Amino acid sequence: MKVLVVHGPNLNLLGQREPEVYGSLTLADIEQELSDLAQRLEVSIEFYQSNHEGEIVTRLQEADQDCDVILINPAAFTHTSVAIRDALAAIQCPAIEVHLSNIHAREEFRQHSYTASVSVGVITGFGKESYLLGLRAAVALVQPS
């Protein structure tokens, strides 16, 4: 079983970017924790980060060939991107949406997600735990106990 983790724009700046909102961990720190958990759960995991909408669309289309489930933090594209929404709707591979912050407790423009309705579910507001819970949810989805 293979999980693809997709990080949207500006998440490459985690650790230095608005630490009061997103915490002090870097993307590499979060990916290390995800890799450790994936090893314990005996699944393979791949990471992809892009600041470009079209590149994310292309990677999602490819995921249909090479992955079983997607964990995605579309970041700002959550609130703007019909293209990423349509890519998630077009592929067979299921996706789980995650956010570090609670998007429903922030500015009004963050409270709508284009991608939520084409995801299996959304985990938002738990910092790095959103990703770790998302990975557990992804594994349970593909390998129900």
Question: Which residues are catalytic, by number?
Answer: 22, 99
Point out which residues bind ligand DQA (CB under 6 A).
10, 73, 75-76, 78, 99-101, 103, 110
Q: How far is the CB of 17 from ligand DQA (least distance, A)?
A: 8
Q: Give the C-alpha separation, 110 to 9, whole Å.
A: 15
- Name the token pair of 121: 């579910």
Q: Give the C-alpha separation, 93 to 4, whole Å.
A: 10
Strand partners, 123: 98
Nearer to ligand DQA, 5 or 68 (CB): 5
Nearer to ligand DQA, 78 or 81 (CB): 78
Nearer to ligand DQA, 1 or 116 (CB): 116
Asked if 110 and 80 touch (Cβ cutoff 8 Å), the reply is: no
